[in-house]
Amino acid sequence: MNGSAPETLHRYRIVYARGEELRYVGHLDMQTVWERTLRRARVPIAFSQGFNPRPRFHIAAALPLGFTSLCEIADLWLIEEMPIPNLLERLQKASPPGLSIQSIMEVPLDWPALQTQVLQAEYRVDFFNDLPLDDLQQKVQGILSQASLSRVWRNKSYDLRPLIHAIEIIPPSSLKPFPSLRMLLSAREGATGRPEEVLSTLGIDATEVRVERTRLLLN
Amino acid sequence: MLTPEQIEQHLHRILLKVQKPGRYVGGELNQTLKDWQSVSTHIALIFPDIYDLGLPNLGLAILYDQINQRPDALAERAYAPWTDMEAEMRKAGLPIYSLESKHPLSAFDILGFSLPYESLYTNVLTILDLAGIPLLANERDESSPLIIAGGHAAFNPEPMSRFIDAFVIGEGEEVIHEIINVHQAWKESGTSRNDLFVRLSAIPGVYIPALYTVDYHPDGTVQAIRPLIETAPIPIVKRIVPTLPPPLTRFLVPSIDIVHNRIAIEIMRGCTRGCRFCQAGMITRPVRERSVDEIIQAIEEALDLTGYEEVGLLSLSSSDYTHIRELVDRVSQRFGDRKLTVTLPSLRIESFSVQLMDQLHDLRPGGGFTLAPEAATERMRQIINKGISSHQFLETIRAVFDRGWNTVKLYFMIGHPEETLEDVQAIVDLCHTVLAEGHKRVGGRARVHVGVSTFIPKAHTPFQWVAVDSIEQIRLKQDILRRGLRAQGFKLTWVEPEVTLLEAWLSRGDRRLGEVILRAWQLGAKFDAWQDHFNIQLWLQAFNDCGLDPTFYSHRQRSLDEILPWSHISTAVRAQYLKQDFLWSKEGRLRNDCRDHCYACGILPEFSDLRLKTPPEAWKCPPVKVKKPLQREATL
């Protein structure tokens, strides 16, 4: 791009779901999955400068391994403007199994970095097996009534309690034989509540549940 | 037998306990998932190492595509689970399953193993065991899948012959369909497994070990290899395709990081240089090339289908591809602005190679410039038939540094026949000369990476009769290298001598090695290609338990009249040709590029029918005037 006229960039915000096929894909690998989708779609990608140029594509918040999501958000920069329906169609066509794009909108270039805009994330936890509702209720109440919950993550101790905004039990229904949990956790940079940590505090084995991110709240 | 649904349920509970669970779930872009009931033949293609290494394997990718194009068959995939996953599977009683439909492997009609190298052998046993299939071919009945294997290591099939029902010798693109057809007809007929073997043995290129027996002399050498039924062919001649089929473009795109993330396009198969240590060069003849148009179109298509950011243009010797300059030109014109990396491996040592890489401009990979002189003295290079002069080598090195590379990567081999310690010291000296050239041209940034492997005389090469260096000799030589290349600017990598020995035993062994492999596996050998897992002691104990001497296989100079364990397998290169080439090596006599002059290796008479049906330009063998048809050499 040396010597040529500076490109006018366009910034698009993409909301997408991550299904079953992408459950075990880590955050960095997801970046690559997206880069290849963009290449297949042949959209006019803006590349980062430097020795190893990579598409300018930022994912809002890492999704833990093993989770699915209804509501991932990412920002994409293009060097040309594309009509939204056209961009949507090209990306949808190029998407791998498990990636479904829900909406795209153009956002101002000068908006702050997406990662800094994320405030909270909501998760739904489904159980594989039945468990006594009373017991679960007691455990949840137990946590919510605490003023602080000291935990250790990667050799650092921290307080989990202020990162929990809400936990709610959804009782079994005709559609679902077992109860679910809905939890709203902080997702700010440097203050991220991890659903696995909450589950562990509740004494729930992470391999006995499935977790889906259902909402990301932005500033 | 567990159903796919039951297997999925188990997986949900296990996967978060293992490293990189994305290896075990399938569902990648471009995978083929057919309705199980809609086809009559179900084939699982298996790479006996982890997903990360197996997924990019081009041979299996081609077969996957070939089989799935048939409406009456499906191909799915399986890889060796890493040890953590294996432990979880065993704990949960979970059988090994295919990634696509999650059927247990025992539900398939055919399991096809890729055997590109020998250190995967124990993993084949692990996979059969995890599938609940009897390990020994003679313990299976009609309810077991047919176990087939192919790949370069299968050119000496004997060590694995106890475990594999049928080997494919040579190229698989056509023969796989014939195997499926025969299997379908056999299934309909409802006859015995032995009848299936007899039917399969009629397919050219298919070797059924159970239909042959081996007699040994009292000294342990082979006395005879005899067919047990009249119709079993001897020798079993490798299969080739007369022209390369259109290249694969619908590559699987994994969602997790693996070793090679790239589009791999074979621009040429075979090599006319005839390096005497090189098994690939001997067993992949004749040379067949793809057209530039076909390659460019395939890259274009594959980029759209995969979104990969790297293209590998594969061959045994890129510089020898007839239209290499045009190819590089058109690749850089067409794809130059796509932020891609294009790799062009195995360039010859000449300044032309440097020009070629330079021509790739923005597409060329970062990192060093790679050259493989293989030996450091002209004497040694004449013995191995790598005909480049030291002058030519240094010219090339200068060109590399002059054109802006700071790092050169050099590949050498120690342990060549007749190698002396002076020849090894010469590697050290040459590397110092190269670094000095680098310092003159790019100053302190110059780096020389030196990779030194140890020569193993492989089956079907002119060196197949010679002995491997002893472990002490290898250590001595590696010490010279380590001491000599300590200075700043060098980075030396080498192969542990024990690794070389295992590969030598397994590649040069006879049928009796099967017992050793089984014993080593029982003792715990697995993932022998992984330094952390490989344990030579297990293998030494296995040899001991089986009453066999490993040095018999590795360190014994074999007589030119000896019946080699693989002598019933024919690569179409005549034994007489290999012998002559071996004798030439002793005289330091070079055999030039056979594009210019036919040395009658045996390919043309063996495949004369195919040759006649193929356009003249399709093979790079020069026209030969044959007065009378050559007689095929008796290989036994």
pLDDT digits (tens, 9 = 90+) for B559-569: 999 999 999 99
Contact list, A35 vs chain B (CB under 8 Å): 307, 309
pLDDT band, residue A52 (cuts 50/70/90): confident
Contact list, A210 vs chain B (CB under 8 Å): 12
Nearest-by-CA chain B residue for A44? B338
**pLDDT at residue B157, as a whole number:** 98
Suggest the residue from A24, A49, A92 to mutate for an interface test with chain B (most B CBs closer than 10 A). A24
| Model confidence pLDDT, tens digit, residues B232-263 | 999 999 999 999 999 999 999 999 999 889 99
pLDDT band, residue A53 (cuts 50/70/90): confident
Nearest-by-CA chain B residue for A64? B16
Nearest-by-CA chain A residue for B11? A207
Structure tokens that stand for B481 in this block: 């290298």
**pLDDT at residue A97, as a whole number:** 97
d(CA B198, CA B205) in angstroms, rounded, equals 14
SS (H, E, C) B485-499: CCCCCEEEEECCHHH
pLDDT band, residue A133 (cuts 50/70/90): confident
What is chain A's percent helix, strand, coil content, to nearest 5? 25, 35, 35
Instruction: Please indicate whether, in this complex, the C-beta atoms of B255 and A47 are within 8 angstroms of each other.
Output: no
Q: Which domains does chain B have, with CATH numbers?
A: 4-237 (3.40.50.280), 262-364+600-636 (3.30.750.210)
DSSP state at residue B191? -
Phi-psi label, residue B205: left if phi above 0, alpha if psi -120 to 50, beta otherwise:
left
Nearest-by-CA chain B residue for A20? B27
pLDDT band, residue A1 (cuts 50/70/90): very low
**pLDDT at residue B628, as a whole number:** 56
Nearest-by-CA chain A residue for B10? A207
Q: Distance (Å) from the C-alpha of residue A98 to the closest C-alpha of chain B?
A: 8
Query: What percent of chain B is modeled with pLDDT above 70?
Result: 98
**pLDDT at residue B631, as a whole number:** 54
**pLDDT at residue A3, as a whole number:** 44
What is chain B's percent helix, strand, coil content, to nearest 5? 40, 15, 45
Compute φ and ψ for A60, nearest 5 degrees: -60, -55
Domain with residues A10-111, CATH architecture: 2-Layer Sandwich (3.30)
Q: Among A152, A141, A8, which Cα is nearest to A77's? A: A8
Instruction: Please indicate whether, in this complex, the C-beta atoms of B12 and A47 are within 8 angstroms of each other.
Output: no
Instruction: Please indicate whether, in this complex, the C-beta atoms of A24 and B15 are within 8 angstroms of each other.
Output: yes
Q: Among B105, B118, B178, which Cα is nearest to B146's? A: B105
Contact list, B29 vs chain A (CB under 8 Å): 36, 96-97
pLDDT band, residue B362 (cuts 50/70/90): confident
pTM: 0.95
Please check the confidence at residue B599 and state whether its pLDDT lies above 80: yes
Intra-chain end-to-end CA distance of chain B, in Å: 46
| Model confidence pLDDT, tens digit, residues A84-107 | 999 999 999 999 999 999 999 999
Q: Which amino acid is located at B574 in the chain?
A: R
Helical pair B4-14 and B83-92, crossing angle rounded to 10 deg: 120
Please check the confidence at residue B304 and state whether its pLDDT lies above 50: yes
Suggest the residue from A20, A23, A205 to mutate for an interface test with chain B (most B CBs closer than 10 A). A23
Cβ–Cβ under 8 Å, residues A213 and A70: yes
Suggest the residue from B19, B255, B337, B361 to mutate for an interface test with chain A (most A CBs closer than 10 A). B255
d(CA A52, CA A68) in angstroms, rounded, equals 30
Nearest-by-CA chain A residue for B338? A39
| Model confidence pLDDT, tens digit, residues B433-477 | 999 999 999 999 999 999 999 999 999 999 999 999 999 999 999
**Which member of A24, A40, A206 has the closest CB to residue B21?**
A24
Please check the confidence at residue A78 and state whether its pLDDT lies above 90: yes
Suggest the residue from B256, B261, B303 to mutate for an interface test with chain A (most A CBs closer than 10 A). B256
**pLDDT at residue A131, as a whole number:** 83
**pLDDT at residue B412, as a whole number:** 98
Strand-pairing partners, residue A187, are A192
Instruction: Please indicate whether, in this complex, the C-beta atoms of B255 and A22 are within 8 angstroms of each other.
Output: yes
pLDDT average, residue stretch A171-190? 91
Q: Which stretches does DSSP call E strand in B108-204?
A: 110-114, 146-150, 166-168
Instruction: Please indicate whether, in this complex, the C-beta atoms of A38 and B339 are within 8 angstroms of each other.
Output: no
Instruction: Please indicate whether, in this complex, the C-beta atoms of A207 and B13 are within 8 angstroms of each other.
Output: yes
Cβ–Cβ under 8 Å, residues A64 and A195: yes
Strand-pairing partners, residue B369, are B408
Structure tokens that stand for B117 in this block: 């190298």
d(CA B491, CA B489) in angstroms, rounded, equals 7
Compute φ and ψ for B380, nearest 5 degrees: -65, -40
Tokens 């007699």 appear where?
Answer: B215
In 3-state terms, what secondary structure has residue A157? strand
For the four alpha carbons of B474, B478, B480 and B481, in that order, the dihedral sign comes to positive
**Which member of B25, B306, B339 has the closest CB to residue A47?**
B339
Please check the confidence at residue B632 and state whether its pLDDT lies above 70: no
d(CA B608, CA A57) in angstroms, rounded, equals 57
Instruction: Please indicate whether, in this complex, the C-beta atoms of A206 and B16 are within 8 angstroms of each other.
Output: yes
Q: Among B328, B325, B350, B213, which Cα is nearest to B273's? A: B350
Q: Distance (Å) from the C-alpha of residue B49 to the closest C-alpha of chain A?
A: 20
Tokens 């989770």 appear where?
Answer: A67
Nearest-by-CA chain B residue for A22? B255
Structure tokens that stand for B362 in this block: 């923005």
Contact list, A26 vs chain B (CB under 8 Å): 22, 256
Compute φ and ψ for B408, nearest 5 degrees: -115, 140
Structure tokens that stand for A97 in this block: 């199994």
C-alpha separations of B235 from B206, B563, B600 in Å: 11, 13, 19
pLDDT band, residue B56 (cuts 50/70/90): very high
Compute φ and ψ for B381, nearest 5 degrees: -70, -30
Give residue ranges of A with CB < 8 Å to any B CB: 20-26, 28-30, 32-33, 35-40, 42, 47, 51-53, 65-66, 94, 96-98, 128, 206-208, 210
Cβ–Cβ under 8 Å, residues B179 and B110: yes
Chain B residues 4-43 with a CB less than 8 Å from chain A: 12-17, 20-22, 24-25, 27-29, 31
Contacts of B352 (CB under 8 A, 6+ apart): B319
Please check the confidence at residue B319 and state whether its pLDDT lies above 90: yes
Structure tokens that stand for A26 in this block: 């880590």
d(CA B571, CA B114) in angstroms, rounded, equals 18
Instruction: Please indicate whether, in this complex, the C-beta atoms of B253 and A36 are within 8 angstroms of each other.
Output: yes
Instruction: Please indicate whether, in this complex, the C-beta atoms of A24 and B307 are within 8 angstroms of each other.
Output: no
What value does the mean pLDDT of chain B take? 96
User: Beta-carbon neighbour count of residue B190 at 10 Å?
Assistant: 8
Nearest-by-CA chain A residue for B9? A128
Burial class (CB in 10 A: 0-12, 13-18, 19+), A160: buried
Chain B residues 549-608 with a CB less than 8 Å from chain A: none
Suggest the residue from B29, B82, B102 to mutate for an interface test with chain A (most A CBs closer than 10 A). B29
Please check the confidence at residue B627 and state whether its pLDDT lies above 70: no
What's CA B624's distance to the chain center, in Å?
A: 30
**Which member of A20, A25, A128 has the closest CB to residue B22?**
A25
**Which member of B255, B308, B309 has the closest CB to residue A25?**
B255
Structure tokens that stand for B101 in this block: 């439909």
d(CA B98, CA B51) in angstroms, rounded, equals 12
Contact list, A53 vs chain B (CB under 8 Å): 339
HSE-up (13 A, CA, CB side) for residue B550: 25
Compute φ and ψ for B436, nearest 5 degrees: -65, -40
SS (H, E, C) B74-87: EEEEEECCCHHHHH
Please check the confidence at residue B328 and state whether its pLDDT lies above 80: yes
Instruction: Please indicate whether, in this complex, the C-beta atoms of A26 and B256 are within 8 angstroms of each other.
Output: yes
Task: Specify the range with the lowest mean pLDDT, choosing from B78-82, B103-107, B355-359, B460-464.
Answer: B355-359
Helical pair A84-94 and A27-41, crossing angle rounded to 10 deg: 110
B51 shares contact with chain A (CB less than 8 Å):
no
pLDDT average, residue stretch B142-162? 98
**The CATH fold of domain A116-218:** Alpha-Beta Plaits (3.30.70)
d(CA B536, CA B499) in angstroms, rounded, equals 8
Sheet holding B447-454, edge to edge: B369-374, B407-414, B447-454, B490-494
Interface A:B, Cβ pairs < 8 A: 78
Contact list, A29 vs chain B (CB under 8 Å): 22, 255-257
**pLDDT at residue A2, as a whole number:** 44
**pLDDT at residue A113, as a whole number:** 95
**Which member of B20, B31, B306 has the closest CB to residue A36?**
B306
Nearest-by-CA chain B residue for A66? B16
Please check the confidence at residue A5 and state whether its pLDDT lies above 60: no
Which residue spans of chain A are classified as CATH 3.30.70.580?
10-111
pLDDT average, residue stretch B562-591? 97
Instruction: Please indicate whether, in this complex, the C-beta atoms of A35 and B22 are within 8 angstroms of each other.
Output: no
pLDDT band, residue A189 (cuts 50/70/90): confident
pLDDT band, residue B625 (cuts 50/70/90): low
Instruction: Please indicate whether, in this complex, the C-beta atoms of A21 and B12 are within 8 angstroms of each other.
Output: no
Helical pair B536-545 and B513-523, crossing angle rounded to 10 deg: 130
| Model confidence pLDDT, tens digit, residues B18-27 | 999 999 999 9
pLDDT average, residue stretch B103-107? 98
